[in-house]
A and B are shown apart, each in its own frame.
Chain A
Amino acid sequence: MVKCILEIQNLSVEVSGKRILNNVNLQIPEGEVHVLFGPNGSGKSSLIMALLGFPAYKIVSGRIIFKGIDITSLPTNERVKMGISVAFQNPPVIRGVKLGRILSYLMPDENKIGELLVKVKFPQSFLERDINLGFSGGEIKKSEILQVLAQNGDFIVLDEPDSGVDVENLRILGTIINDALHSRSALIITHLGVILQYINANMAHVLMNGTIVCSGSPVKILGQILNEGYAWCEKCPQVKTMRCEL
């Protein structure tokens, strides 16, 4: 049996006393790409925040095992250094902190940064921009992917890499993401599944009301959601086969 890179066990999370994730179980075998579907407000982004250990996301019960190690109580930066790289959906503006400053921290080799810039079609001058200040929707996605690539973790998490992106940028992003996934494991949140045109995912899960209600083939699940909406997922028989070992 393949090893799990990530195993989330019975995870329940509260924000400001309000339960937002309820007994979530998720296993991602090493080398696999999983997709997470779910309606707005179902808790998809919260799952990422909890995975990263943001203090506002209080873990009420359950465990997060990454590469066989229980990371449930580790600070964010230590989890990240173990190999988790996240592209955020709505990253904050930080005035005066340049994109280039963050990239050079993640990747001290200037030439490699230059190569990444070419890949995402960013001019060199973009490095001088305050992070996320005045970035367009597409620029945010590209900047996030750029940072994830520079972080070079072996487990990447992409929170809606395809939302609010025009066709041209979608093609660029899709190609880059597909390249990156050859040697990595991943969890990709997508709302409409557009990114699936560019990548091969092994498995999809549907999160509703803070819990995973259904797992299965990405193409099949997406097809059902597009045809019948998320209501279908509630009826769907939950797939609960153990696919990797701890």
Chain B
Amino acid sequence: MSTSKDDALRAINKPAAYGPDLDVNQYSRQPKNWEPCPISSLPKEILERILEVGVLPERENRAASFFQIDHSVIFRAVQSLFEDKVEIMSAREALEKYDWLKDYWWKIVSVDTDKYTALAELAWDQGYFIRIFEDQKVTMPLQACLFISTDNLNQNVHNIIIAEPGSEAQIITGCTLHSSVQRGLHVGITEFYVKEDAKLTFTMIHNWAQNFDSRPRSGALIEDNGVFISNYMCFKPLKSLQMYPVAYCRGVNARARFNTIIYGTGTSYIDVGSKIVLQNEGCRGEIISRAIATDEAQIYARGFLQGEHGNTKAHLECRGLILSDKAIIYAVPELMAKVQGAELSHEAAVGKIAEEQVQYLMARGFSRSEAEALIVRGFMDVSIFGLPKELEREIQRMIDITTERAL
């Protein structure tokens, strides 16, 4: 039987299905070394950066925290109130502690998917393990931060999240870098296990740099009556980003939802999709994406719904707003029904800011630029995502910070 390593070795030169092909050897594997410390005692510059991706330095507002800089885990802790509800640790620590964890490792995402998954196996730099214990409802969000402090670094993380039966949690993951970092490659493998009756809301915010490349690879497995909600946001320019996370609704009545907001600026090449596979009775899926392209950004907004069982239903809604004649939005909604009774639908619309809307707001007294800013911000309205109010406010705050600068 071939090992993960063997499979990875065979895939190490395999380009990804989408996105520009990268030479993974052009990046450095020499990180800075960071000693463990509380998040709040990190340099001010880092603390300012992480706030933009939803990561808080104070422990009081997060049920649990994980913080990795380059290849070093510098902090991980569960707030005392939640000690019997969740656990959080580095992935390496977890693999040593729990023998059974190998049954969750490379089980949803295949190690030989492409050269990036292969890289994450062959040059693995930590990542986190989060487990929400059976029947525990964690009322406060958990947070994880993957930070890069070294220019041109390659960081490969592998995360495992398990929501045990009947549990409920929200996780915010922020990925960002030091202002001195211009280039680099982040590969993030994340495997989600949402067990029976569990509900997991995962929110990921990316803030990279002009010449930075990012290749997340995620998969989720949702069991009976489980609910998985994934929110993804990227507002800052970067060189290239390509990801196409998949959610497998395997159990009866399993539900998955992907919400994506992309704001492409500069010369960013962004290829982001979401896929939901409906594999059992009563499964439901929803993909909502919003893409805004300005400057010379290229955005590929993909979506794929696959119905493999009767009495299933899913909808895909993709809207793009194009703010420059040099930008591109390419919306690719796909539906595949393999049985009768799989009800799949999509709507996609790409266009510029409607003049009629601008005029209407100007008739209320807004200037043209104020009206356009209001419309663009409205376009990124997160209230349609159906998130918990607290989280919704936090995300809206982050969008406001970012768009205030951009607009």
Footprint of B on A, CB under 8 Å?
A: 52, 54-56, 75-77, 80-81, 86, 88, 91-92, 94-98, 101-102, 105-106, 128, 130, 147, 151
Q: Are B378 and A80 in contact (CB under 8 A)?
A: no
Q: Are B357 and A92 in contact (CB under 8 A)?
A: yes
Q: Say yes or no for B81: interface residue by CB 8 A criterion.
A: no
Known interface pairs A75-B368, A77-B367, A130-B378. Does A94 touch B361 (Cβ–Cβ under 8 Å)? yes
| Pairs A-B, 5 closest by C-beta atoms | A96-B378, A96-B381, A97-B378, A76-B362, A77-B362
List B contacts of A95 (CB < 8 A).
Answer: 378-379, 381
Q: Say yes or no for B391: interface residue by CB 8 A criterion.
A: no
CB contact list, B335-375 vs A, under 8 A: 354-357, 359-368, 374-375
- Please give the distance in Å from B298's CB to the nearest CB on chain A: 24
Q: Are B364 and A102 in contact (CB under 8 A)?
A: yes
* Complex-state Cα separation, A105 to B361, whole angstroms: 11
List A contacts of B384 (CB < 8 A).
Answer: 96
List B contacts of A54 (CB < 8 A).
Answer: 359
Q: Are A52 and B363 in contact (CB under 8 A)?
A: yes
Instruction: Name the contact of B364 in the complex, choosing from A92, A96, A98, A151 (C-beta under 8 A).
Output: A151
Tally inter-chain residue pairs, CB-CB below 8 A: 69
- Please give the distance in Å from A39's CB to the nearest CB on chain B: 24
Instruction: Name the contact of A102 in the complex, choosing from B359, B361, B380, B383 (C-beta under 8 A).
Output: B361
Q: Are A96 and B380 in contact (CB under 8 A)?
A: yes
Counting chain B CB atoms within 10 Å of each CB, the highest count among A75, A96, A105, A130 belongs to A96
Count of interface residues, chain B, beta-carbon cutoff 8 Å = 23
* Complex-state Cα separation, A105 to B377, whole angstroms: 15
- Please give the distance in Å from A154's CB to the nearest CB on chain B: 14
List B contacts of A86 (CB < 8 A).
Answer: 363
- Please give the distance in Å from B205's CB to the nearest CB on chain A: 19
Known interface pairs A54-B359, A92-B360, A94-B360. Does A81 touch B365 (Cβ–Cβ under 8 Å)? yes
* Complex-state Cα separation, A98 to B381, whole angstroms: 10
CB contact list, B81-113 vs A, under 8 A: none
Instruction: Name the contact of B359 in the complex, choosing from A76, A96, A147 (C-beta under 8 A).
Output: A76
Q: Are B379 and A80 in contact (CB under 8 A)?
A: no
Nearest neighbor of B371 in chain A, beta-carbon distance: A77
Nearest neighbor of A76 in chain B, beta-carbon distance: B362
List A contacts of B355 (CB < 8 A).
Answer: 55-56
